Structures are given as C-alpha cells and as structure tokens.
Amino acid sequence: DVKVTQSSRYLVKRTGEKVFLECVQDMDHENMFWYRQDPGLGLRLIYFSYDVKMKEKGDIPEGYSVSREKKERFSLILESASTNQTSMYLCASSFTEGAYEQYFGPGTRLTVT
Amino acid sequence: QKEVEQDPGPLSVPEGAIVSLNCTYSNSAFQYFMWYRQYSRKGPELLMYTYSSGNKEDGRFTAQVDKSSKYISLFIRDSQPSDSATYLCAMSAPGGGATNKLIFGTGTLLAVQP
C-alpha cells in the first residue's frame, strides 16, 4: 500500500513564526503536491514538484515556499505565519503516468494565533 | 465562475437509498474525471476515475460523464452508513507540467442514516 505521511496531525504556531510541514512518500512517485483545504473553498493547490529540486507554483503560492531535496520528501515552509494561513494542509503524491491518481496523507491541522 | 462547481450539501439519506452526487465544469479541455472520498479527519482517497465520456461501474458505485453538458455524476446504490463521507469531484486536462494538476470541487458531505 502507498503510504504518505505528514510530520504532524495538529500544530499551533504564533503569528510571525517560521513553520515547516514535512511530507514523506514511500512509493517512488515523481510528483508531490501541497494543498490547503478550507470550508467552502475545497482543495487548493499551493505548490507541486515533478522531480527532485523542481517545483512549480500552484494556484495560491503567496506566503509559502517548498523544498524537495530528496525524491521521497517534500516540505512546505511558511516563512512568516499569519492567521489567514490557519487551515488543513494536505500532501499528495503520484506517478507522472496516471497523475490523476493522487495519494494523500492524513493532513496537518495548522492553527496560527 | 469557478472551473468546477459542486453542491456542498449536506445530503442526508436513509440506509439503502440511491445517492446521486454531481459536479459541473466549465473547461472543455478536461479529459480525466475523478471522484475522491474523504472520511472525517482523513485525507481524500481515489474512489473512481473516468477518461473522457461514458459510464464506469465498480460494485455499488457508478461514475458518469456527459462532456456535452459538462456534467459528471457519481451514483451509490444500496447506500450504507459506512458511505458517510465527503465526496470530492476532481478533473484534469491531459498534458505535461502544470496542466497535469487536478482541479477539485468543494465536496459534498453525505450522511447515510441507519
């Protein structure tokens, strides 16, 4: 079974803090994604990566950056957390062939106070 | 206008009912159509996918795509309390790079009452 793990289930941070969210997948997938999920807005793509050290902006990249130093690991960084970044963050991975089949992690509920 | 529209519900049905979940879309380039299921406090999981138009059946689940109307549906027969979840439609256009990304609906919350 494909497994996508995320470093924390729940996280509480203060405004202005630098926040790291980590994601690891064990299926040798080329693609990895970071989404945020908010009520009424659904899943919105923040960033994705199709190869090591490669990244592309999604629909809402402002205030975020990413890092992919190894194929299995994709990190989302909030340089200076703000209250409007309080959300559920979901990581996903997929093969390039059949990219529609994305495997999701359990999510990190981030609260910024 | 959003690229993908989905009624958020909630939708409450009795056990054994036939459930119909729907999405509409505006981008005619979409060719891959997916349904993901998300249980509470979990990540979404792929339930079914369809390429282009037509129907696809998997057990109690049937996915339909009508590209002429830009409308997709998921039918659940003999619904069970274990089907209670949020159902997300997702779509994608073929191609490389940024066009491989999925566009999700907002999800419909389904509750099947025993």
Give yes or no for a contact between A33 and A102, defined as CB atoms under 8 angstroms apart.
yes
For residue A33, CA distances in Å to A30, A61, A79, A91, B7 come to 10, 12, 18, 6, 25
Q: What is the pLDDT of residue B7?
A: 87
Q: Dig out the tokens for A53 from the structure.
A: 């050290």
- Quote the DSSP letter at residue A30: S
pLDDT tens-digit map of A36-63: 999 888 899 999 998 898 899 998 999 9
* Residue from B36, B46, B102, B103 to probe the interface with A (highest A Cβ count within 10 Å): B102
Q: Is the pLDDT of residue B22 over 90?
A: yes
Judge whether B106 is closer than 8 Å to chain A, CB to CB: yes
Q: Is the pLDDT of residue B96 over 70?
A: no
Interface of A with B (CB under 8 A): 4, 31, 33, 40-43, 45, 48, 50, 56, 58, 90, 92, 96, 99-107
Q: What is the pLDDT of residue A2?
A: 66
* Residue from A9, A21, A27, A43 to probe the interface with B (highest B Cβ count within 10 Å): A43
In chain B, residues with a C-beta closer than 8 Å to the C-beta of A56 are 97-98
Which regions in chain A score pLDDT beneath 50?
A: none
Q: What is the pLDDT of residue B95?
A: 64
